[in-house]
Amino acid sequence: MAPIVLVVGSLHHDIMIDAPGLPMRDETMVGTGWSPKFGGKGGNQAVAAAQGGGCRMLGAVGADGFGKFMRLGLARGGVQDDFVQTTPDTPTGISVAIVDPAGDYGAVIVSGANLAIDPAPLADPALWAGVAVLLLQNEVPEGLNLAAAKVARAGGITVILNAAPARPLGAELAALVDILVVNAVEAAMMGAGSVTDLVSATDAAETLAARFSAVVVTAGAAGLAAWSALDEAFAEPAEIVAVKSSHGAGDVFTGTLAAATAKGASLQTACRAASLAAAHHVAGTTA
């Protein structure tokens, strides 16, 4: 059986709004269109991971139409959803994202069922069957992430944390993370300084490496930098593509990174594969 990525994380029904720009405070802006989209960092990363191998998810949706939409998205993406729960009294999480003509965006999430995930399945051996990598994000409670990371560490499973959105990270969870993935904003909020190019991204990765075994800092159009005990420091420039939309690119990167890691790729090889997948996503093309 192919190695499996287990994603413990969020599922959001995204509402995408096309607009001429991002509105300022108190401004009402006229948009040009909208569309529903499967989302949530957990869901997006699970679908990306499934493109590179097996993927299973532990998460939750509400007993509503949005929940059905999310399960359909998981099925279409090839993600095993046997451990995705339905919360009868809590609605499916949503997000609203405003995308400008350049492909940049701003978003607001309402967590809903993502805050009501029952951790009990973490004790079920079936959840962990064939799992090589546990992938976590910050859109579910840290207590759930910590509980999952403890089980993974006990089983010798690699733990990847995409610390997004940025929030204080407890020392106990940090000690269980094998690979930390953050963007420029998250790196700065974790005390690694401003990230504006590959040089500063490399500095940020090395700063954060004092707390983690391996760190990947993505710097948008500039590329990425990483540090690990095995690979030391390296930087990879981004693929040059015409931007259709950057929304979800970080999730494609992280999910692809997890899938490559599950197959035994080195950090640098996994980063290259992830960077290429993210570039295709930004350009709206297929690999």
Under 8 Å between Cβ of 257 and 51: no
Assign a CATH topology to domain 4-19+35-177+239-283: UDP-N-acetylmuramoyl-L-alanine:D-glutamate ligase (3.40.1190)
Give the range among 34-43, 74-83, 102-111, 137-146 with minimum mean pLDDT: 102-111
pLDDT above 80 for 243: no
pLDDT tens-digit readout, 27-62: 999 999 999 999 999 999 999 999 988 999 999 999
pLDDT above 70 for 172: yes
DSSP H or E segment with residue 60: strand 54-62
Tell me if residue 13 falls in helix, strand or coil: strand
pTM to 2 decimal places:
0.92
Among residues 274, 264, 258, the alpha carbon closest in space to that of 223 is found at 274
pLDDT above 90 for 179: yes
d(C-alpha 171, C-alpha 160), whole Å: 15
Strand-pairing partners, residue 85, are 60
State the chain's mean pLDDT as an integer: 92
Quick one: pLDDT at residue 79?
A: 97
How remote is the C-alpha of 117 from its chain's centroid? 17
